[in-house]
Structure 1
Amino acid sequence: MPDKPDLAEVSNFDKTKLKKTETQEKNPLPTKETIEQEKQATA
């Protein structure tokens, strides 16, 4: 196996053929208010 990968395919890649997708956050971080409510509920 060569030490360095062959980058010829990467340089020839056509980005215009990719489909546009919208990303969605599956597990958003809690807000400060949510953290404070949980702190008060456990205290």
Structure 2
Amino acid sequence: MSDKPSMAEVENLDKLKLNKTETQEKNPLPSKEMTEQQKQAGES
């Protein structure tokens, strides 16, 4: 069996059987305000 599924398998996928998941970003990027504060703190 190959690593990639065949197109027939993908086309026949039953979307109703898929589970709904909530995604959460584990490492969000800092906001623009936070980076400005860090720049100012580094300058003084």
Pairwise TM-score range, normalised by the shorter structure: 0.7 to 0.9
Kindly provide the amino acid, as one letter, of the partner of residue 23 in structure 1: T
Structure 1 residue ranges (4+ consecutive) displaced by more than 4 angstroms after TM superposition: none
Q: What is the number of residues matched between the two proteins?
A: 39
> Share of identical aligned residues, percent?
69
Calculate the TM-score normalised by the size of structure 2.
0.75
Cα RMSD (Å) of the superposition?
1.4
Calculate the TM-score normalised by the size of structure 1.
0.76
CA deviations on 1:2-41 (whole Å, 9 max, x unpaired) are xxx7311111100110111100011111111100111011
SS at match of 1:21: coil
Unaligned runs of 5+ in 2: none
Unaligned runs of 5+ in 1: none
What is the match of residue 23 of structure 1? 23
1:1-43 equivalences in 2 (<5 Å) = 6-43=6-43
